[in-house]
Amino acid sequence: MGIKDTPEEWQVTATATPFVGNKTSVRTDEVVMPDGSTVKRDYQVHPGSVAVLALDEQGRVLVLKQYRHPVRQKLWEIPAGLLDVPGENPLHAAQRELFEEAHVKAEDWRVLTDIYTTPGGCDEAIRIFLAQGLSEAEGERFAVSEEEADMEFARVPLAELVRGALAGELHNNCLVVGVMALSAALASDGLTALRPADAPWPARPFEA
């Protein structure tokens, strides 16, 4: 018997927003438990994100290294970014991020997997795309600033990234989940069995 996550919403008797930031906020809900008691749950409210596992013809994945202040590390990651506009088409956002961060475009797009990053404390949902048929984008490179101005780039064989994740040497969630999902897809039904790029995404509904 297959298993799958199911939508459910417990009763909220009160809610407050004690903090509002530039991109995210913190919400406090009073939630009714199955035994009838009420508890407070604090969580980060997040617009959602997209990430791109860009795979070239030699089986290498496009990765970038970026400083992440909360964990005080420079992490190897795949291109990723926020859904800037509510209801934004995630494919369009992913194409934008691949262009802005790596100055690359792709001909073939598929949904690799969808995840919640930390569902116990944040409602962030991420759609990870697989992009193939890579080539350099036309025009000038996107002007970067802040942490992105210090990024390093590389193309790394998939097997090496899997090894690094299992060895505890790579920690970015989108990178780790993405390479593991791609490895699993290649070992089972193949990439053509992946969902199309415009597959529904209940966590972040969008217009085509």
27-60 tens-digit pLDDT? 999 999 999 999 999 999 999 999 999 999 999 9
pLDDT at 195: 98
Q: ∠ CA(197), CA(88), CA(198), 5° rounding?
A: 15
Q: How many angstroms separate the first and last alpha carbons of the chain?
A: 33
Task: Name the residue with tokens 């415009």.
Answer: 198
- Set 147, 148, 152, 160: catalytic member: 148
> What pLDDT is stored for residue 85 in this prediction?
85
Nearest of 52, 51, 56, 50 to residue 156 by alpha carbon? 56
Residue 150: pLDDT band with limits 50, 70, 90: confident
Query: Mean pLDDT over residues 11-25, rounded?
Result: 94
Q: Given a cut of 80, is residue 170 above it in pLDDT?
A: yes
pLDDT at 167: 98
List all residues 6 or more positions away from 98 whose beta carbon is below 8 Å from its beta carbon.
Answer: 52, 54, 79, 104, 105, 106, 131
- Assign residue 103 a region: left if phi > 0, alpha if psi is -120 to 50, beta otherwise? left
Q: What percent of the chain has pLDDT over 90?
A: 88
Q: Is 88 considered catalytic here?
A: no
Q: Residue 79 and residue 171: Cα distance in Å, rounded?
A: 15
